[in-house]
Amino acid sequence: MSKAYAPYSSYKTTRAKWLTQIPSHWEIVQSRRLFGQRKSRASPDDRQLTASQKYGIIYQDDFVELEGRRVVQVITGSEILKHVEPNDFVMSMRSFQGGLEWCRYAGSVSSAYIGLIPIKHVHAPYFAHLFKSKPYIQALQSTSNLVRDGQALRYENFSLVDLPIVSLEEQQAIATFLDHETTKIDRLIAKQERLIELLKEKRQAVISHAVTKGLNPDAPMKDSGVEWLGEVPAHWVCKSYRYATRVYRGKFGHRPRNDPEFYDGDYPFIQTGDIAQAAKNISEYKQTLNEKGKSVSQKFLAGTLVMAIAANIGDTAILGFEAYAPDSVVGFKPKPDVVLEFLRYSLMAALPALQQTSTQSAQANLNIDRIGSVKGVFPPVEEQTRIIAHLDSLLEHYGLLENKAKEGIALMQEHRIALISAVVTGKIDVRGWQKPDTELEETATAVSA
């Protein structure tokens, strides 16, 4: 352990199953001595709040704006809602997975939530970290044998997990340290996430340029007459995808589609998620159909280019084995003058145009007619092959950079989790830590850059 993160000088054993060793000057008490249960009903003018592991407890209208999707609001019967105050903590249906949420606003929450009122010895920012720490979440999970999504949590679950008593001054020191350190980690993660987004944008740009402009910058050009294509090499052929490939749709002629009588057999069954998780080729599957399922589905041969036309619209991959697929997937068999891998890149470049056709209906999805109506541009086969090799090489490079960034994010997230857990449970002593001067820190960073 580094000098900056030294342990406390002495420890003692406790009765808490999840916190057996604590600093000698800490104590362990029943959680009900630190937090009571808030049972106040909401008032008619309370703004409704929602619990989110991503944002914590925030107002529902703010959540809708941030996420771009609606949440269920109680319009009538608001008397079933519960009132909460700033610095309450809230147990929601997701607390078994992500811990308790710190509430910073007055308002109302669902009757399915449990509000916790700080009684004494509570500095909310410290407990905000502790309640989201891995050891505490595991302890909360151990209070029930029925941990699953959607399970109701009760105050009794919370009461079964003992908590440490730490002086308010030390709680404040711990919270200040963790706020600073986790903010630094989060900024580094955000930079890596931005790099991944930039790589995706770059990948889309180089694919689009290669399949619409070619590799020869001196090639004579012509106006394609198609908005998304613009000018294209003069010797290339513009045509709708219906004339470049045969498109055929998957099928599952039984509802509900999750009927267990049709599954767990000998026939691979791929879905939109399998396409999304594949890089270029689909080499594995998670689900199978039996004879009954096979009879109501559509078979795609090995080597078929498949595309998701619902959910993750436009994702493509090449089947590495014979498989069946539902109606949320379409398959492509290109004409002799179109190379399969070039068709895939062409469709990837055409994704914005395809998505535009999908939004022309009430449901955001594609169908064979819409795909077939979009125009692409196709060079001679020999040139298609060169473009494929060029893009394969470039995308492999981008893939390596993206994987490196993802590995960096994973390591930083692991470090963040470990650091929070170590500090809130007393594994390391941060009482002597001083927050760096932000201005000096930023100057030093700029100079070193």
423: region left, alpha or beta (phi > 0 left; psi from -120 to 50 alpha): alpha
Reduced to 3 states (helix: H, G, I; strand: E, B; else coil), residue 413 is helix
Separation of CA 258 from chain center? 24
pLDDT of residue 166: 97
Q: Indicate the pairing of strand 281-282 with strand 316-319.
A: parallel
pLDDT of residue 4: 62
pLDDT of residue 449: 33
Give the bridge partners for 376, in sequence order: 239
Question: pTM score, two decimals?
Answer: 0.81
Domains of the chain: 3-187+415-448 (3.90.220.20), 215-378 (3.90.220.20)
CB atoms within 10 A of CB 382: 8
Which ranges constitute the DSSP H helices of 375-434? 381-424
pLDDT of residue 152: 66
77: region left, alpha or beta (phi > 0 left; psi from -120 to 50 alpha): left
Which residues of the chain carry a pLDDT beneath 50? 1-3, 147, 149-150, 360-363, 439, 442-449
pLDDT of residue 356: 81
